[in-house]
C-alpha cells in the first residue's frame, strides 16, 4: 500500500481548485455556461479588446482554460496542461493590465494568480495522487516542462504582441479621424 504525504495531498488540492476554476472559465467561453457568453459573445468581446479573429481567439482561450484546467485537475500531461493554462491567463492579464493589479478594479490579479499557479504546477509536477503518476509519467517527463513553457511563452508573446499592434493601429485611426473633422 502506498503512503501519500502532505505534499501529495497539497498538490492534489491545488490542482483540483485551480483546474476547477479554469474549467469553469473555459466553459463560459465555449458553451456559455455559468453566466458566460459562449463562443459568439466571447468572440465579439475578444475582437473588441484586440484579439482577432475573435471567435478563433475565444475558441483557443476556452480550450486552453477548460482543457488545461481539466488536465491539471486530473494530474495528466501536467507540463502541457499548466503551460496552456498559463498562456491563456497571460493573454487575459494583458487585457486587464490597464486597470491596475486588483480584480475589484478590473485588474489582472485573478488572471495572474491562476496563470502563476498553473505554471507552478507545470514545474513542480502533479504529485503521486495523479494520473501522471499512475501512468508512470509517460506524458510528464522532465524535458517537457521547459519545452511546454517555452513554446507557450513564445506563442503568447506573439499573440499578445499582435494584439498590442492592433490596439495601437486602432488608436491611431481614431486619432486621425479626430483631426480630419
In tens, the pLDDT along 152-167 reads: 999 999 999 999 999 9
Percent of the chain with pLDDT over 90: 91
- In tens, the pLDDT along 138-150 reads 999 999 999 999 9
Q: What is the rounded CA–CA span in Å between residue 174 and residue 164?
A: 15
Which pLDDT does position 172 carry in this prediction? Answer: 87
pLDDT at 2 over 70: no
Mean pLDDT of the chain: 95
For the whole model, what pTM was predicted? 0.91
**C-alpha–C-alpha distance, residues 79 and 72, integer Å:** 9
pLDDT digit string, tens, across residues 36-58: 999 999 999 999 999 999 999 99
State the pLDDT at residue 175. Answer: 76
How does residue 112 score in pLDDT terms, banded at 50, 70 and 90? very high
Determine the average pLDDT of the residues in 61-67.
98
Task: Give yes or no for residue 121 having a pLDDT over 90.
Answer: yes
Helices (H), the chain: 6-31, 38-48, 54-74, 78-96, 109-124, 131-134, 144-180
Contact between residue 78 and residue 72 where contact means Cβ atoms under 8 Å apart: yes
Amino acid at each position: 500500500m502506498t503512503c501519500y504525504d502532505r505534499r501529495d495531498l497539497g498538490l492534489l488540492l491545488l490542482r483540483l481548485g485551480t483546474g476547477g476554476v479554469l474549467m469553469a472559465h473555459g466553459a463560459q467561453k465555449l458553451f456559455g455556461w455559468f453566466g458566460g457568453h459562449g463562443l459568439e459573445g466571447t468572440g465579439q468581446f475578444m475582437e473588441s479588446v484586440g484579439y482577432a479573429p475573435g471567435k478563433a481567439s475565444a475558441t483557443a482561450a476556452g480550450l486552453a482554460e477548460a482543457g488545461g484546467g481539466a488536465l491539471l485537475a486530473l494530474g495528466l500531461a501536467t507540463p502541457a496542461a499548466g503551460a496552456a493554462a498559463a498562456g491563456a491567463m497571460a493573454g487575459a492579464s494583458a487585457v486587464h493590465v490597464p486597470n491596475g493589479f486588483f480584480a475589484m478594479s478590473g485588474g489582472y490579479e485573478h488572471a495572474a494568480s491562476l496563470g502563476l499557479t498553473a505554471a507552478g504546477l507545470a514545474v513542480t509536477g502533479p504529485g503521486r495522487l495523479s494520473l501522471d503518476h499512475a501512468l508512470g509519467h509517460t506524458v510528464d517527463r522532465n524535458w517537457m516542462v521547459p519545452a511546454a513553457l517555452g513554446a507557450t511563452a513564445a506563442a503568447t508573446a506573439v499573440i499578445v504582441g499582435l494584439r498590442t499592434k492592433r490596439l495601437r493601429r486602432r488608436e491611431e485611426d481614431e486619432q486621425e479621424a479626430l483631426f480630419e473633422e
